[in-house]
Amino acid sequence: MKKIWFVVRYEYSKAIRQKGFLLALFSLPLFIGLSVGLGIFINSQENNSAAVGYVDNSGVLNDPIPISNISERDRVEFVQFSIEAEAKEALESKSIQAYFILPEDYPANKNIGLFFYDQPGENSIRDFYDFLQLNLVSGSQTEIRNRLA
């Protein structure tokens, strides 16, 4: 048995001096670290926490319920504008990342306009539709509204 351990120790000490062994030893943790880092970076690029504006020509959002009062996760702030020119000016001054325009006959006409210079974060579009859905059912029971948020 003593001779077997001597051979194992000799072969192991010989193998760890080779470049291929060291490359194989360190490449797997390095690959895992790069994959995790890339995933975190891509996720951070998809989300943008800057405010989003909206122009409500239909009157659906005249007295809006803020979605942040219900949801536990961080949400995008929504800024209401009375006319499109104000929203466009805010977009040009970079105080908002994008703005939505609801048509006068909403919800019959669901063609909501989205205007931006740089693609807004995925979270801002998702949060706006959550915000809109919450306010469409604002007359419903509180339990139903909380389930939607």
Tens of pLDDT, residues 73-117: 677 888 889 889 999 999 899 899 899 999 988 878 888 888 988
Cβ neighbours of residue 46 closer than 8 Å, sequence gap 6 or more: 121, 122, 123
- Statement to judge: residues 78 and 27 lie in one domain: no
Q: Give me the domain span that covers residue 129.
A: 52-148
> What digits encode the pLDDT tens for the residues 25-54?
888 899 999 999 998 888 777 777 788 999
Q: What is the CATH number of the domain that holds 86?
A: 3.40.190
Prediction pTM value? 0.64
User: Do both 86 and 13 map to the same domain?
Assistant: no
| Residues 72 and 107 grouped into a single domain | yes
- Is the domain of 103 the same as that of 118? yes
User: Given 30, 46, 62, which residue is the final one in a domain?
Assistant: 46
Which residue, among 145, 130, 70, has the nearest Cα to 100 in the 3D structure? 130
